[in-house]
Amino acid sequence: MKKTKGMRKAIIGFLIVGTVVALSACGKSSKSDSQGTAASFSIKDRYTPSKTTPAWKLDKKKNTKLTWYINADWLKLNFGEDLVTAQIKKDLNIDVKIVTGDDTKLNTMFAGGDLPDIITLTDFNSSAAKTANKWAQPLTTLANKYDPYFNKVANEQTMNWFQLKDGKTYGYPNFSNTTQDYKDNIMPVNTNFIIREDVLKALGDDAKFDTPEHFQATMKLIKQKFPDLLPFGFNPVTTTTGSLGAPLQDWLGVPLETKEGKFYDRDTDPDYLTWVKTLNKVYRDGNITDDSFADDGPTFDEKVESGKYATILFDGISGSQAHLQNFKNANPNGTYVPLDGPQSTEGRTIGLNQTGLSGWMINYVTNNAKDPAKAIQLFTYLMDKQGQILTRYGVEGKTFQYNAEGKIEMLPAITKLQTENPTEYSKKYRLSEILFFTHDRTNTYAVQPENSLTKMQEWGRGKLKPHYIIENIQPDSGTSEARSYDAIEKNWQTSLISMLRAKNDTEFKQTLADYQSFRKENDWSAIVKEQNKKMKDNQKRLDLSTDDQ
C-alpha cells in the first residue's frame, strides 16, 4: 500500500512536470521564422533574370552556402571533393552541405523548424510530399522571379503531374518518364523471363513456355535433365508478392482499367489466375522449391549469382546486373538469355511497367531557403542537358569523349577504374551519384556498353506501357481506408503465396474465396471508391498535357 502510494505520487509528479514542459515548449515553438527570410530576399543588385539564359550564368554572387537534405541514407560525400560536385561548385559559386537521413530525421527537422534550403524526398505519396504547400515554394513562382529559363528545362507533363490541389507544383522529380519517353523507347525493360543458355540448348525444340500446359511440361523436363537446378525462380516474396504479382499481370497484359476508365481488379483476373494455378501445379510437381518463399534478398541474389535457377521471372532485373555478370564470368557457357515465356490465355499483349511520371525522388526548395535564387538556379542547372551529362558522365576529356556519331563514350581508364576499384572511382568522380535530377533520357546520349543485360533489354524494346493511370492510387496514409488497404495487401500477399503452395485444387479455391471475403469485410468497396477518385484525378492531370503530345 505504502509503495503504491509513493508510486502514485511519482506518477503525478511526472505528469505535472510533463505538462509544464509541454506548455513551455508550445510557447516556444509558435514563433514563425519561415517567411522572414523569403520576404526580405531580393536579387535586384545581382542580375536581371532572362528567359533565354540560365540564371546561374548571370548571377555572379560568390560563396553561397546551401544545405541540401536527402531523405535516403546511402549518399555520403563532401561537396566539391570530386569531379562532379567540384564542377557544380565552380559553375554556380556555391557550396553545398549534404545531409542525409530517414523519416525520423526529416520529422525532427520539421518539428524543430529548421528546414534546410533544399529537400529531396523519396516518396511522392508521403504526407510530407502531399503537404508540400505548407513548407515549400512553388517552382513556377520561383522560376518567374529568379530564373525563367527553368520553364524551358522542366518537362510540362511532369510539372502537371506533380500539381497539388492548389494547382501549383512544388517538387520536381528524377526519372520521371513522360508519354514521349515511352514512345521513344528510351528506357530499357526491367522485367524479363530468363533461362540459362545451356538449359535452353538442352531442351531444344521442347523449350515451350507459352501455354500453361507447355509451361508445366517443360518445367518437368528441366527437372529431368538438370536435377541439380531449380526449374523456376522468382523475386523474393517474404514481404511482397515479388514478380508473381503485378509484374506477372503486366506480362500477361491484364488491363490497367476498365473500359470506362474505372478501377480494374487485376488480382482476380481469370487469365492471371489461370497462370497462378499453373504455377501451383508446377509447385505440386516439385519444380518450385519451398525455399523460394522463404529466401530473403541476399539469399536470392546468391542463387542468381551461382545460376541455381534454370528459369526466372525476374522483376527489377537491372538491380541484378552485377549478379548476372558474375555468373556469366564464372560460366562462359551458361549465361542467361531472355525468352517470351508465358503468354496470355486470352490473347492479350504484354505491357510491362517502368518508372512512370512520378519518377523516384522529388526535390523541393523550402520556405526557409536563405537564397532561393541560387536554389532554383541549381535545379535548372542540374535539369538542363549540360547538368544531366555532367552528373551522369562527367566532364568531356576527363571522363568521356564524343565518338564519330556524337555519342558519349567513357574513357577506357575510367571504365577500368570503375571495375577494378569502385570505391576509389566513386570517391573521385561521383558519377551517377548526384542523381536527384537525372532522367532516363540521358542514357540516349551515350553508347551503351555491352553487358549481361544487353540481350534482355533488346528483347524488351516496345514492350513497355505507361501505368500512369494507376500510379499512387492507394488511399492516403493515416485514414481508415489506408489501414484496411494495408491489411488487404498483406492478406493478398499471404493468400497468393498460399495459393501457389496449395496442396490441391480445393485448397486453392478456398484460399481465393477466403481472400475475396476478407476484402469484403475490410471496406473493399470504400477503397475502390477512393481508388476510382484518384484515377479520375490522374486522368485530369494527364489531360492537362494532351494538347502538346
Pick from 41, 182, 226, 360 the residue near another protein by CB under 8 A. 360
Residue 145: count of CB within 10 angstroms of its CB:
16
Contact with another protein (CB under 8 A) among 196, 281, 392, 463: 392
Which residue in the set 407, 465, 501, 529 belongs to the binding site for another protein (CB under 8 A)?
A: 501
Please report how close the Cβ of residue 116 comes to another protein at its closest, in angstroms.
Answer: 10
Residue from 82, 181, 267, 295 in contact with another protein (CB under 8 A): 295
Do 256 and 467 touch, CB atoms closer than 8 A? Answer: yes
Interface residue with another protein among 80, 113, 261, 334 (CB under 8 A) is 113
Which candidate, 103, 107, 113, places its Cα nearest to that of 73?
Answer: 103
Per this entry, what is the length of the chain?
549
Instruction: Enumerate the β-bridge partners of residue 100.
Output: 70
* Signed CA dihedral, 292, 297, 299, 303: sign only: positive
Can you tell me the distance from the alpha carbon of 208 to that of 340, in angstroms, rounded to the nearest whole number? 9
* Given 60, 76, 165, 259, the residue binding another protein (CB under 8 A): 76
Q: Does 12 bind another protein (CB under 8 A)?
A: no
Instruction: Look at the block and give the residue holding cell 536527384.
Output: 436
Cα–Cα distances in angstroms (integers) from residue 10 to residues 2, 13, 24, 157, in the given order: 13, 5, 21, 60
Q: Which stretch binds another protein (CB under 8 A): 71-79, 201-209, 380-388, 403-411?
A: 71-79
Contact status: 517 vs another protein (CB under 8 A): no
The reply to whether 453 sits near another protein by the rule CB under 8 A is yes
User: In the complex with another protein, which residue's Cβ is closer, 262 or 490?
Assistant: 490
Distance separating alpha carbons of residues 191 and 23, to the nearest angstrom: 55
Residue 226 binding another protein, by CB under 8 A: no
In whole angstroms, the minimum distance from the beta carbon of 73 to another protein comes to: 5
Q: Which is nearer to another protein, 105 or 201 (CB)?
A: 105
Restricted to residues 420-439, the positions that interact with another protein (CB under 8 A) are 421-424, 426, 431-433, 435, 438
How many helices (DSSP H) and strands (DSSP E) are in the chain?
Answer: 25, 11
Nearer to another protein, 103 or 210 (CB): 103
Binding mask 187-206 for another protein (x = CB under 8 A): xx-x----------------
CB of 79 within 8 A of CB of 96?
yes
316 binds another protein (CB under 8 A): yes
In terms of DSSP bridges, do strands 94-100 and 64-70 run parallel, antiparallel, or are they unpaired?
parallel
Task: Give the residue with the Cβ less far from another protein, 440 or 530.
Answer: 440
Whole-angstrom Cα distance, residue 219 to residue 206?
10
Q: Which of 40, 48, 63, 111 binds another protein (CB under 8 A)?
A: 111
Q: What gap in Å lies between CA 505 and CA 418, rounded to an integer?
A: 52
CA distance 390 to 396: 9
Residue 438 vs residues 69, 156, 245, 423, 431: alpha-carbon distances, Å: 17, 16, 29, 21, 11
| Residue 513 is a binding residue for another protein (CB under 8 A) | no
User: Which residue number, 280 or 545, has a Cβ lying nearer to another protein?
Assistant: 280
What DSSP line would sit under 417-463, residue for residue?
A: HHHH-HHHHHHHH-TTTS-TT--GGGGGGBPPPP-TTHHHHHHHTT-
Select the span of 264-272, 402-410, 419-427, 502-510 touching another protein (CB under 8 A): 419-427
Q: Which of 137, 355, 363, 377 binds another protein (CB under 8 A)?
A: 355
Q: Is the Cβ of residue 25 or residue 513 nearer to another protein in the bound state?
A: 25
CB of 332 to another protein, least distance (A): 14
Q: Which residues contact 160 (CB under 8 A, 6 or more apart)?
A: 169, 541, 542, 544, 545
Strands 400-402 and 230-234: unpaired
Q: Which range of residues in 20-28, 161-169, 268-276, 368-376 is near another protein by CB under 8 A?
A: 20-28
Question: How many Å apart are CA 171 and CA 148, to the nearest integer?
Answer: 16
Written as one letter, the residue type at 547 is D
Nearer to another protein, 262 or 461 (CB): 461
Within positions 161 to 180, which residues make up the interface with another protein, using CB under 8 A?
175
Residue 108 CB, nearest approach to another protein (Å): 4
Q: Which is nearer to another protein, 47 or 459 (CB)?
A: 459
243: which 3 cell numbers? 514478380
Q: Is 290 in the site for another protein (CB under 8 A)?
A: yes
- Contact between 34 and another protein per CB under 8 A: no
User: Does 296 contact another protein by CB under 8 A?
Assistant: yes
